[in-house]
Structure 1
């Protein structure tokens, strides 16, 4: 699991960005919901392709889910299931080792946890854009949280990182960077109750490069990507107490110029 301290880690506020980035569509019917009643891992909840697994032992709590749209694509479901098994195996091993170490050192053991929740950001004819909220706890003062994302290409039957659809991260940053930095500083000032000091050398007053963020591709019409979401986990744009920062920017003509030719038809400008 990529808990990115630049590209990482579980979004308490991820629902806000998903609502702004995802296509405008009615809520799914109850029978199509990705959520399901928690059950033991040996009988995971599977509803029309959705999966929702919850396992709790003396050592750990493990939660992992993905929506029906992902479950209905066999290769994508297989990939997400493989990640599920890796995450669970890693958590079980690490928590068992931590419990043993705590006993040897005479310290109390705090149960570990891992959470991964995949959600649909946009579903277009060729692509399914997904975002993941991630969380983890490994016995410290508090847990960590952050993000992940992917785009599934139905034609290629393969997963892509959103940035792979652009000519380069640098080209996209040249177009989005200034606007994103301005938006970030306005939100920082709102949360802190004071403007950013000009010329400050505080690391939490600086612009954040796209390489330290998670990028989402969204759509308002279900036909083409016309929004770009940018998520910044804790410690990326501010201290942990400021929580995550999330922004949505339109796909403009300038952004279109940074999209690779093979994917140009999947995007549309939204000014």
Structure 2
């Protein structure tokens, strides 16, 4: 069965017709289904049209699905009486696209047994260059001191993120933080400081100035900042909060106000 799963997934790697055509308007949708494993990978058309970025995300996502399909087949064979089919839903969407950057967010929902599934996030900041292609840009490259633990950048970000989390917590619960919530406050404080082994999931915020970004959005999966029932958290940090720590080049990339989302305009 394992060999059959590998062959089936590998056969699905081919991009749809027109995926590299500048006129393409369809998202890339990859569906895989076996008795032990089912997944759907959806990549927005703007990402597919971006030279280098689309193929990068598709190949990485399909490779991960292939690996998980093998694990599902192995687990089903080892413990058939306890096995439940693995389920995956992965989506990639654009948060900002301008002449300099394409910022994308991946949302990955997964079920591999247990009481329920869970989801997490990943992101890519893709810097365009003059010859029609580009490459991944680490967030640390935007800051003069990188994102080192010693940088005062983290003091600014931690304060801003913690304040936003406290407001959001009170909004969702219907009351301010109480004594019973202090464990989650401690967890939030730990999540908002520097971690050498953990890179924050960050996307660029759209701006009222179309050629700029208005700041950064930090994304946190369920369980990191609250119980599963509270879901995920995302916090917008306007660029003036961290502007003084940017490189001279990066300061030119930010400006304007946060552009309202389509949902807020409805």
TM over 0.5: yes
Indicate the residue corresponding to 2:37 in structure 1: 60
Task: Provide closer, same or farther for how the CA distance between residues 269 and 178 of structure 1 changes in structure 2, counting only shifts above 3 A.
Answer: farther
TM-score, normalized by length of structure 1?
0.74
Indicate the residue corresponding to 2:254 in structure 1: 267
Q: Provide the aligned C-alpha RMSD in A.
A: 2.6
**Residue 6 of structure 2 corresponds to residue 41 of structure 1:** no
Runs (4+) of structure 1 moved beyond 6 Å?
Answer: none
- Show structure 1 runs of 5+ residues with no match: 1-39
After TM superposition, list the pairs within 5 Å mapping 1:168-179 onto structure 2. 168-169=146-147, 170-179=151-160
Indicate the residue corresponding to 1:22 in structure 2: none
Indicate the residue corresponding to 2:211 in structure 1: 223
The structure number with the bigger radius of gyration is 2
Indicate the residue corresponding to 1:17 in structure 2: none
TM-score, normalized by length of structure 2?
0.76
Indicate the residue corresponding to 2:110 in structure 1: 136
Secondary structure of the residue aligned to 2:242 is: helix
Indicate the residue corresponding to 2:65 in structure 1: 88
Indicate the residue corresponding to 1:154 in structure 2: 128
Indicate the residue corresponding to 1:214 in structure 2: 201
Which of structures 1 and 2 has the larger relative contact order (alpha carbons within 8 angstroms, sep 6+)? 1
2:28, 2:41 → 1: CA distance? 8
2:152, 2:43 → 1: CA distance? 32
Q: Deviations over 1:71-113 (max 9, x none)?
A: 122311221122023112111111111111113xxx2421102
Indicate the residue corresponding to 1:236 in structure 2: 224
Residues 64, 84 of structure 1: 8 Å contact kept: yes
Residues 149, 162 of structure 1: 8 Å contact kept: no
Task: Provide closer, same or farther for how the CA distance between residues 197 and 42 of structure 1 changes in structure 2, counting only shifts above 3 A.
Answer: closer
Indicate the residue corresponding to 1:4 in structure 2: none
Indicate the residue corresponding to 1:30 in structure 2: none
- Show structure 2 runs of 5+ residues with no match: 1-10, 259-266
* Residues matched between the structures, number: 228
